[in-house]
Structure 1
Amino acid sequence: MPSSSCHTVLAESFFHRNAELFRPHLAAVGLSERILSAPESEIPVTQYVALWEVLGREVSPSIGLEVAMRTESGELGAYGHAIRCAPTMELVLRSLTRFMVVLTQATQLSVEDDGKWITLAYRVTDASIVQRRQDAELTICVVLNLLREVTRNPQLAPMRVDFEHRAPRDLTCHREVFACPIRFEQPDNRLYFARELLDMPIRTADPRLFQALELFLEQQRQSRAASTDVLSQVAHQIASSLSSGCASLEQVASDLKIGVRTLQRRLAEHNVEFSQLVEEVRRSLAENYVMQSDYSLTEIALLLGYSEASSFCRAFRRWTQLTPQQFRQRSRS
């Protein structure tokens, strides 16, 4: 895992296929062009989600849905291949949810069956990632597209879709993609299907290949899930401690009820330094405060643990290549 990140997304061939879309905007979120041709790259989740928000502002407000509709299982590495090869819908849903962490950490995809509906719920679990509309729309639409792919039914539609963010001004693309009622400002992002979904035949099944992929993915899941658990706890504690000025290694270790050396050892196991986690959490929260609030720069600086607004402004410009004022104006325009 890269030392610059707490959680990561695997590039797979997804970034290569969308290289021309991503390339002009990588520098804005601190990513290298190397990821466009290196499927083994692990991309920090904070920067990955931030990239989608940049694309939403600079390219199209519905970019997540637009890219998702042309995304196929083969672009998602072993995770996508396992979903495609699963012999039953039950195993398709199990693979979608159980192995999500192999592809992307700090996220959760779950399936629920209440006897009437089959629902798939998605959320980002990293407390420092607040702006995430494009990631939510991309992921929910990719899940739907994968279900359409394995059933070879391009008309498959949910009964309802929920999103946690506010309703966009233009819902034309949403209505075309989902063809069902859509609700916003909900507790999470969710697809609702009738239980008949479980009876749909899988047209792409390959049971022998699925068996091999499932074993491999389970090994990967255990490794990446363990990393996610530890780093999510630390990132959440940092976010909670910044405004009080107590986001120190010693204080976070105390809050987590572990020793300082134990915390350092756990972070080292994932090639992560505590100071880098603080920096990432600060950046994510800073972008959210600047975009979504009317706080003054002094107030934001204090919320993030800076003693002066000037120190915050220098850090913000280093992160985004923009002043906070420029960033706020651009996001609101």
Structure 2
Amino acid sequence: MEDQQEQFVLGIVAYAVQRDISATQLCKLSGISLPELTGKNSITFSAKQLNDLWLNACHLSNDPLFGLHLGESLQLAALGVVGEIVKTSTTVGNAVSIATSLTGLVTDLFKMEVRQSERRFTINLIPNQARLKDSEFAFKQTLDFFMVFLIHELDGFILEKIKPEEARLPFTASAAKEYTRLLRCEPLETKDEYALTFDSKYWDLPIITANYELQTSLLQNVNLLELTQAESDSYRARIYQYLLKNAYLGIVSLEEIAANFNVSPRSLQRKLKDENVTYQEVADEVRKALALNYLSSGKYLIKEISYMLGYNELSAFSRAFKRWTGTTPGSYQKNAIIN
């Protein structure tokens, strides 16, 4: 379990950095050695270290819903276990069933079970009662993370926005709106139950394995925007990296980005204005970088690229590309392949 848990901890720290938190400070406060975490040798974590990591991440980000927002942000390729799910699955049902058996590779705070009926299937996240005493805070954040992560990554498997029929979990009334946004349904408050119920129509949908490969490729090309060290700490850069890493699910709205960064849309607009850029301009930078990358690879039809970048009409993508480069997607791809 150590390697997968280490990847999970790295994911938490990387997201904290994206939220303008010092990785050195976060790890030091949590009793974790950053050089060891980023080194080549595997390390293990105590229950106290993991609990403190969540506590400090929430405190330093001033975000009590840090786990929820991490679930929205963390990419499936960042957890190596997901690659195993993809390689051995053909449908959503296969993937969900395999995922339940592999959860223990990432955390021992709970286990997952799937119950299926003719009309729906339910994923239950069952607490490990023996671990709650010394990991109560980590348990809540990790459960929140996994519930959102499940929905978010099912989207990536099938290129469709999945909406649960029902979500059951404990939550505070003040956070209900954000839980509704991320879980895509109004959650039902429970005392100690965590469960997501989906329409059975999703169960037999085929997984688009190429989408996982696409995301893996994206994560290998996250530095498509060349920046100075000072610029890399800007909101522009952090939003750019977020959009790029999640581009396989489409370019999200300003409101969604603001919620993930735990600021208001108006505040985020002001911060970007101070950097002399708008959210739309950052989003177009990402689309342009991805379009050039996809076209140059020669692996995708222009129509597919248009769809992957969130354009409903090929003509809209062609107009945007010509505005960015002065040429058409077809001409650019032809020249890139020849050269």
Q: What TM-score do the two structures reach when normalised by structure 1? A: 0.53
Deviation at 1:31, TM superposition (A): 1.7
The 3 A distance-change label for structure 1 pair 113 and 134 is: same
Correspondence for 1:193: 198
Deviation at 1:66, TM superposition (A): 1.4
Correspondence for 1:173: 178
The 3 A distance-change label for structure 1 pair 145 and 46 is: farther
Deviation at 1:186, TM superposition (A): 3.6
Deviation at 1:181, TM superposition (A): 2.0
For 1:1-333, what aligned pairs fall within 5 Å after superposition? 9-11=5-7, 14-15=11-12, 17-18=14-15, 20=17, 21=21, 23=23, 24-34=25-35, 36-38=37-39, 40-59=42-61, 60-77=63-80, 79-85=81-87, 86-125=89-128, 126-128=131-133, 129-131=135-137, 132-153=139-160, 155-163=161-169, 165-204=170-209
Question: How much identity, in percent, do the aligned residues show?
Answer: 15
Q: Which one has more relative contact order, counting CA pairs under 8 Å at least 6 apart? A: 1
The 3 A distance-change label for structure 1 pair 101 and 205 is: farther
The 3 A distance-change label for structure 1 pair 162 and 168 is: same
CA RMSD of aligned residues (A): 2.7
Aligned mates of 2:31, 2:173 — CA distance in 1: 27
Which deviations, in whole Å up to 9, do the C-alpha atoms of 1:264-290 show, x marking residues without a partner?
Answer: xxxxxxxxxxxxxxxxxxxxxxxxxxx
Aligned mates of 1:54, 1:16 — CA distance in 2: 11
Aligned mates of 1:139, 1:169 — CA distance in 2: 21
Q: What TM-score do the two structures reach when normalised by structure 2? A: 0.52
Aligned mates of 1:38, 1:122 — CA distance in 2: 32
Which deviations, in whole Å up to 9, do the C-alpha atoms of 1:204-230 show, x marking residues without a partner?
Answer: 169xxxxxxxxxxxxxxxxxxxxxxxx
Deviation at 1:189, TM superposition (A): 1.2
Deviation at 1:157, TM superposition (A): 1.2
Unaligned runs of 5+ in 2: 212-339
Q: 2:92–2:202: 8 Å Cα contact kept in structure 1? A: yes
Unaligned runs of 5+ in 1: 3-7, 207-333
Deviation at 1:182, TM superposition (A): 0.2
The 3 A distance-change label for structure 1 pair 127 and 121 is: same
Task: Name the count of aligned residue pairs.
Answer: 198
The 3 A distance-change label for structure 1 pair 83 and 142 is: same
Q: 1:9–1:105: 8 Å Cα contact kept in structure 2? A: no
Q: 1:14–1:75: 8 Å Cα contact kept in structure 2? A: yes
Which deviations, in whole Å up to 9, do the C-alpha atoms of 1:293-318 show, x marking residues without a partner?
Answer: xxxxxxxxxxxxxxxxxxxxxxxxxx
Aligned mates of 2:168, 2:188 — CA distance in 1: 5
Aligned with 2:122: secondary structure? strand
Q: 2:15–2:74: 8 Å Cα contact kept in structure 1? A: no
Correspondence for 2:306: none
Q: 1:109–1:121: 8 Å Cα contact kept in structure 2? A: yes
